[in-house]
Amino acid sequence: MAACLPLVLKLPSNVPFLRLLTEKYSHKKLLRCVTGPSPRGYAAKAEPAPEEKGPRFAGPLDHYGALIRDGTLREDDDQRAVLQTLDQLHRKLRGYSNTPTSIFSKFFPKPKPPNGYYIYGDVGTGKTMVMDLFYSYVEMEKKKRVHFHGFMLDVHKRIHRLKQSMPKRKAGKMAKSYDPIAPVAEEIGEEACLLCFDEFQVTDIADAMILKQLFENLFLRGVVVVATSNRPPQDLYKNGLQRVNFVPFIGVLQKYCQTLRLDAGIDYRKRNRPSAGKLYFLSSEPDAEASLDKMFDELAFKQNDITRPRILNVQKRKVRLEKACGTILDCTFEELCDRPLGASDYLEVSRLFDTVFIRHIPLLTLNKKTQARRLITLVDALYDHKVRVVILADYPLEEVFVHDSDHGHDESHVLMDDLGLKRDEASSLSIFSGEEEMFAFQRTISRLTEMQTEEYWLQGDRSAKP
């Protein structure tokens, strides 16, 4: 028998899965390009395209240093410390993939994914900025940068789709239990090696009950997660309904993501910057309504459209908005926040319009927690997509949402009775206390403050963009 000779494969040094790509960006691009929905339905931010000329940087930390030197940003030791860590992760992720990259991959051990990071801190401290800098330099195609609201909406859509695709059971037959969460995680894992979440927050019981299983499956499939949040992991879903069933998720998150605190005690959104002019009006001011009418007419004049109602198609629902012209939308608070609308509706508004007027925002008391929650979600979506806002409210921004028992909370008492809960034992739950809304509304105030600056207003003008 002839001796078997060993087979020697000589791979060229430039095969795709070994090549180190170099995507470098000019620091003049501030990483705010927003794309539409990804193929699976949730919005993702895209990094700016590299320029042919101009400065090039080795990674996010190098880029950050340039932004400091040219005065775009001010030096912040906390931001730099977080970026040093993210810069190391960006290097570790070069060439990383959680799926086979060639026919030879099965002969080699699967690479162990690096741990991700959970970055938390107070509002306006630069968490989103440092994550976006990191994301723009990660050298892989399969990455997604998503707002957590949009991501969870997409997860629930996928779950619904998989359940609908199951064959109908015959009459008299017991239905076999089907768990769609693992297949959903598998789908997402095939689409992304890296998931970057902005505003990681858990307020919905439907989200809270599936997060452990969902993320456990994502991590086991080698997905790396980087997230920003205003809360430390142990405070997620604080005082939420059935929180005892949510707590195991915190352990999973901390196992796969190192916690980083970014909190120098400065809200950079509130620092003195040139104003875009008066964009926040009080109902008590003379001619406030007329001022908004005039602003709308001036903006509408530049549109190639007529002022008319618009009907949005959102998840097989029709949402009617009474007054719009081109990319300019004029709404009342009642239209946007008194109706049962949610993140998917506000994401569609953000996609279609670059300027939104919100009129007649009332005092938001405990009786209006639901409306306050919708306003928080609306502002998050508008801010994330650089949509400009003009507001008419009954109270100054800092005083719009109040935690005052004197205003009563009749709706909460009705719900307590429906759930069979005693007033004393229910008062600590966030669904009744308004604590979660009060906490999140600080982010809303911070964002609306930045949204009144000249820089934000100019960035939000889509007519100037191709």
Confidence of residue 64 (pLDDT cuts 50, 70, 90): very high
Question: Does 182 lie in the same domain as 320?
Answer: no
The last residue of one of the domains, among 261, 294, 313, is 261
Task: Kindly state the percentage of the chain with pLDDT values over 70.
Answer: 77
**What pLDDT sits at residue 439?**
79
Question: Is the residue at 173 inside a domain?
Answer: no
**More confident of the two residues 62 and 57:** 62
CB 229 within 8 A of CB 199: yes
Residue 186 lies in a domain: yes
89, part of any domain: yes
- Dist. CA 369–CA 382, nearest whole Å: 20
Per the CB < 8 A criterion, the answer to whether 284 and 306 are in contact is no
280 and 395 both lie in a single domain = yes
For 229-280, what is each residue's pLDDT tens digit? Answer: 999 999 999 888 888 999 999 999 999 999 999 988 888 887 778 888 999 9
- End of a domain among 232, 261, 290? 261
Residue 196 scores a pLDDT above 50: yes
Residue 55: is its pLDDT beyond 70? no
Instruction: Establish if 424 belongs to a structural domain.
Output: yes
Mean pLDDT of 172-193: 83
**What's the number of domains the chain is made of?**
2
Segment 94-129, tens digit of pLDDT: 989 988 766 666 667 777 899 999 999 998 999 999
**Is there a single domain that holds both residue 302 and residue 245?**
no
287 in the same domain as 256: no
Q: Are 122 and 230 contacting, i.e. CB atoms less than 8 angstroms apart?
A: yes
Distance (Å, rounded) from C-alpha 42 to C-alpha 148? Answer: 9
- Which has more pLDDT, 394 or 28? 394
CA distances in angstroms from 441 to 207, 231, 319, 401, listed in the order given: 20, 13, 25, 8
Which CATH number belongs to the domain containing residue 368 in this structure?
Answer: 3.40.50
Of 204 and 176, the one with more pLDDT: 204
* Residue found under tokens 């008419």: 392
Q: What whole-number distance in Å separates Cα of residue 16 and Cα of residue 386?
A: 36
**Same domain, yes or no, for 279 and 252?**
no
pLDDT, mean of residues 387-409: 80
Q: What is the average per-residue pLDDT within 160-179?
A: 72
What's the domain range around 396? 271-464
Question: Rounded to whole angstroms, how far apart are CA atoms 167 and 278?
Answer: 58
Beta strands in 283-372 (DSSP E): 308-314, 317-325, 328-332, 355-361
Tell me whether residue 22 is in a domain: no
- Same domain as 416, residue 345: yes
pLDDT of residue 262: 94
Q: What is the pLDDT of residue 316?
A: 84
Q: Quote the mean pLDDT of the chain.
A: 82
Based on the fold, state whether residues 254 and 277 are members of the same structural domain. Answer: no
Please say if the pLDDT value at position 228 is more than 90. yes
What's the confidence (pLDDT) of residue 50? 41
Whether 206 is covered by a domain: the verdict is yes
Same domain, 64 and 199: yes
Do 241 and 305 share a domain, yes or no?
A: no
Instruction: Say whether both 233 and 86 belong to one domain.
Output: yes
Which of 213, 240, 261 is the last residue before a domain boundary? 261
pLDDT at residue 70 greater than cutoff 70? yes
- At 307 the pLDDT is 96
pTM as predicted: 0.71
Nearest-10 crossing angle of helices 181-191, 211-220: 40
pLDDT at residue 90, rounded to an integer:
96
Residue 240 and residue 345 in one domain: no
- The phi, psi pair for 120, rounded to 5°, reads -130, 160
